[in-house]
Structure 1
Amino acid sequence: MKKYLILLIIASLACNCKSKSSINSNAKETNSNTHSENKSEDNTIYFKATGNEPFWELKIGKEQIIFTSLIKGNESTVFSTVKPSRAMDANLKTYNVKNEKSSAVISIQQIECQNSMSGLISPYKVSIEIKNNTDSNAQKIDGCGKYITDYRLHDIWVLEELNGYKVFISDFQKELPRIEIHAEENRFMGFGGCNSINGSLFFEKDLLRFNNITSTLMACPENNKEDQFVKALQSTTTYSIKDNRLTLSNPSGKLLIFKKVD
């Protein structure tokens, strides 16, 4: 009898250990999947918009356009991302998308837009006409949105090359030019090679501009290349990041190459 009880206790302990191990394993797997999904979303979603009455949310990514809402029949709809058509006389993009259940026309215009409930100001107005394939009429809704500036830009970058040539401290004054980019706030600050500089960022998918650049008014030596640096910065339209290097370019070619230092 004692031997039977001992065997029963051992079996029960083994079962409990296995159950706990399975739970911990499942929890780890769930956390890992959640982290992976969040990381994936951060890497792919580049535009977000919301609207009210009824509430809706739009996310545009490299592969998918995700629309969620309180609209009956369109609570959660996923479309494949397509290349938008562009207006000739305004910053207006239009996406025509469809899947097996519905279709939508999404228009994104660069114009100041105020959320009807929160009062928050966004730089883009978004209009959507969405229709189930079984319906005859489309639902028309409006809201506001913004592009999500590439988080990889958020860093301190020190200049290495200017207009195709390697730069040296002797080309400037005491130290090399640098920029510190604050991606969430779409602004930057730094040192131009002689004066302190700051300004704002204009970011859209595949587009980056450094705008409203201002600087202190310190007199600079004639051989200082700060003017060339600032002009190149103002001429930037695109960028790439690879091997801790930020390359700024325009249709004419590479303008500036920076090295990440923080």
Structure 2
Amino acid sequence: MKKLLYFLLLLSLIVACKSTAGKTSDTKNTTSEYGTQEDQMKYYFTGTGNEPFWGVKMGSENIEFTSLISGKEKLIFPATEAIKAMDANVKMYKVTNETSTATITIQQLECQNSMSGAISPYKVAVEIKNNTELTAAKLSGCGNYNTDYRLHDIWVLEELNGFKVFLTDFQKELPRIEINSTENKFMGYGGCNAISGSIFYEKDLLRFSKVISTMMACASGNKEDQFIKALQNTTSYSIGDNRLTLSNPSGKLLVFRKVD
């Protein structure tokens, strides 16, 4: 009897340890160099720097700056529109609150973290000072846009260039794309061939690039070429009512229905 009780106790401890280990792993999966998954849903851009450690999170409602600098441990600024450079992908944000003023510059330029060695696609510069100070602290670091998590799904085409699509417009089935917002990649079916590529995401900007496809010959009248061209011409999007609408300044290009 004692041996049986000892065995049951040992078994319960093993199960408990496995359960705890699983929870720890799940927690790690929701955190990255640029913050938790919740942060990445709330903020469209996150930047970090070292020596001294600092971070900035850009959101539609506010901009949050944190650091180890005395008097600047945590500052909240109201969101503002970017000042954009004419000849380069550079955005500048000038923000102020009751106590402090900052200028935040985001430049599309490969950037390496000075401690971890991780490579990011954007360089970030921050000049920040309390309103009682004469000179601003100048900080530099790296950053990344947090791709809209709502894109992460499987989408089947409903409309192409303003017209509803039918199976007869394609080979066997309607075109579809599966977007991986974590890796900024997509794959799918163009209506005749398998397709894949990358997505480029910034606030209010979405592009499908580096599109490649298999080389299967398509039947006459197949609209795959029109579909891929519209995909490549996309610059903006909207999501609502289980639909993904892709557009550019000329108008609506594609409408997809969520199927996953």
Aligned equivalent of 1:15 = none
Q: CA deviation at 1:228?
A: 0.1
- Provide the rounded CA distance (Å) in 1 between the counterparts of 2:110 and 2:220: 42
Aligned equivalent of 1:213 = 211
Summarize deviations over 1:146-179 as a string: whole Å, max 9, x none.
1100000000000000001111111101100000
**Residues 47 and 141 of structure 2 are in contact (CA less than 8 Å); yes or no, is this contact kept in structure 1?**
yes
Aligned equivalent of 1:97 = 95
* Aligned positions of 1:111-260 closer than 5 A: 111-260=109-258
- Provide the rounded CA distance (Å) in 1 between the counterparts of 2:250 and 2:163: 15
**TM-score, structure 1 normalization:** 0.84
**Residues 40 and 146 of structure 2 are in contact (CA less than 8 Å); yes or no, is this contact kept in structure 1?**
no
- 1:57 equivalent to 2:90? Answer no
Identity of counterpart residues, as a percentage?
67
Report SS of the residue matched to 2:230. Answer: helix
Report SS of the residue matched to 2:91. Answer: strand
Q: CA deviation at 1:136?
A: 1.0
- Provide the rounded CA distance (Å) in 1 between the counterparts of 2:126 and 2:39: 22
Q: CA deviation at 1:72?
A: 1.1
Structure 2 counterpart of 1:152, one-letter code: R
- Provide the rounded CA distance (Å) in 2 between the counterparts of 1:120 and 1:152: 26
- Provide the rounded CA distance (Å) in 1 between the counterparts of 2:42 and 2:84: 22
How well do the aligned residues superpose, as a CA RMSD in angstroms? 1.2
- Provide the rounded CA distance (Å) in 2 between the counterparts of 1:176 and 1:249: 19
- 1:107 equivalent to 2:105? Answer yes
- Provide the rounded CA distance (Å) in 2 between the counterparts of 1:102 and 1:216: 55
Q: CA deviation at 1:44?
A: 2.8
- Note the residue ranges of structure 2 that are not aligned, 5 or more in a row: 1-35
**Residues 103 and 133 of structure 1 are in contact (CA less than 8 Å); yes or no, is this contact kept in structure 2?**
yes
Q: CA deviation at 1:43?
A: 4.0
Structure 2 counterpart of 1:112, one-letter code: E
Report SS of the residue matched to 1:103. Answer: strand
- Note the residue ranges of structure 1 that are not aligned, 5 or more in a row: 1-37
Q: CA deviation at 1:41?
A: 4.6
**Residues 48 and 60 of structure 1 are in contact (CA less than 8 Å); yes or no, is this contact kept in structure 2?**
yes
Report SS of the residue matched to 2:51. Answer: coil
Q: How many residues align?
A: 225
Query: Runs ≥4 in structure 1, deviation > 2 angstroms?
Result: 38-44
- Provide the rounded CA distance (Å) in 2 between the counterparts of 1:216 and 1:51: 42
Structure 2 counterpart of 1:165, one-letter code: F
- Provide the rounded CA distance (Å) in 1 between the counterparts of 2:60 and 2:37: 14
Report SS of the residue matched to 1:175. Answer: coil
Summarize deviations over 1:190-233 as a string: whole Å, max 9, x none.
00000000000000111000000000111111210000000000
Q: CA deviation at 1:86?
A: 0.4
Aligned equivalent of 1:34 = none
Structure 1 counterpart of 2:137, one-letter code: Q
**Residues 44 and 63 of structure 1 are in contact (CA less than 8 Å); yes or no, is this contact kept in structure 2?**
no
Q: CA deviation at 1:39?
A: 8.8
- Provide the rounded CA distance (Å) in 2 between the counterparts of 1:145 and 1:194: 38
| 1:75–1:83 distance in 2 versus 1, CA, 3 Å | same
Summarize deviations over 1:9-44 as a string: whole Å, max 9, x none.
xxxxxxxxxxxxxxxxxxxxxxxxxxxxx8975543
Computing the radius of gyration over CA atoms, which structure comes out larger, 1 or 2?
1
Q: CA deviation at 1:53?
A: 0.3
Report SS of the residue matched to 2:228. Answer: helix
